[in-house]
């Protein structure tokens, strides 16, 4: 059996043993902490398990072992699959792209049913990839940028969708450009030199560039 409740709904598992007293033991998925379920689980008088306000983390294998103390007790299992809208997991506050090289802006998601699409915004406006030569979208919804340059600088959000819709947009991630090298320094140091205005600096640099708003 593989029940598929929607996230936020409820699921009831029956556990019956014919010809014996209604007693039993329920085994939960090992990845599920008991504290996660305490306020949402009820074991009914007939031995059934009622799981309320299901979440994606409730998915897993549930096993009941009914016993009246005689002989070796049987067992039965059910796999629970929870359906929920697509959602962003953890969007980093900053995304570094290598200047002059290929980079990627990722949208970390989870979804069940599977992901269908992802939409992006850049600086508060819908992102139109066809306006940026060399930009494309990967199958997982990430933005692929062939050559990192100033066009990539900005604040991005993504919104994933599946057949159940979306849980909402991500937190914003600020895209920065990075030049590989040695010590990090602000962009304005490159023009005036670290030793002072008009004095050139010779040495390896790691420059992080960002556009201020």
Render pLDDT for 145-175 as a digit per residue (tens, 0 to 9): 999 999 999 999 999 999 999 999 999 999 9
What kind of fold does domain 10-82 have according to CATH? Immunoglobulin-like (2.60.40)
For 86-178, the fitting CATH number among 3.50.50.60, 1.10.10.10, 3.90.850.10, 2.60.40.10 is: 2.60.40.10
- What is the rounded CA–CA span in Å between residue 132 and residue 146? 10
**What does the pLDDT read at residue 91?**
97
Cβ-in-10-Å burial (0-12, 13-18, 19+) of 133 comes to exposed
The whole-number mean pLDDT for each consecutive block of 10 residues of the chain, a chain of 213 residues, reads 54 49 51 63 78 84 76 81 94 96 97 97 97 96 96 98 97 93 39 38 45 53
**What does the pLDDT read at residue 198?**
39
**What does the pLDDT read at residue 127?**
98
Give the residue ranges of DSSP H helices in the chain: 34-37, 189-192
**What does the pLDDT read at residue 196?**
41
Q: Against a cut of 0.85, is the pTM above it?
A: no
**What does the pLDDT read at residue 137?**
97
Q: How many CA within 13 A on the CB side of residue 179?
A: 15
Whether the Cβ atoms of residue 203 and residue 183 lie closer than 8 Å to each other: yes
**What does the pLDDT read at residue 56?**
86
DSSP class of 130: G
Residues of the chain with CATH 2.60.40.10: 10-82, 86-178
């Amino acid at each position: 059996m593989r029940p598929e409740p929607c996230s936020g709904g409820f699921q009831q598992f029956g556990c019956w043993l014919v010809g014996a007293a209604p007693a039993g033991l329920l085994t939960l998925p090992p990845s599920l902490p008991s504290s996660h379920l305490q306020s949402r689980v009820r074991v009914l008088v007939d031995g059934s398990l009622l799981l309320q306000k299901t979440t994606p983390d409730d998915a897993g294998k549930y096993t009941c072992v009914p016993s009246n103390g005689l002989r070796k007790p049987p067992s039965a299992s059910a796999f629970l699959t929870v359906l929920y809208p697509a959602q962003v997991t953890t969007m980093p506050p900053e995304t570094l792209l290598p200047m002059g090289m290929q980079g990627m802006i990722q949208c970390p998601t989870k979804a069940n049913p599977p992901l269908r699409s992802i939409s992006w915004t850049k600086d508060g406006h819908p992102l139109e990839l066809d306006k940026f030569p060399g930009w494309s979208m990967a199958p997982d919804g990430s933005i692929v940028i062939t050559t990192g340059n100033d066009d990539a600088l900005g604040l991005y959000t993504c919104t994933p969708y599946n057949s159940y819709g979306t849980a909402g947009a991500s937190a914003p991630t600020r895209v920065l450009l990075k030049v590989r090298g040695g010590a990090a320094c602000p962009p304005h140091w490159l023009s005036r030199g670290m030793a002072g205005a008009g004095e050139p600096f010779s040495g390896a640099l790691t420059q992080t560039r960002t556009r201020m708003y």
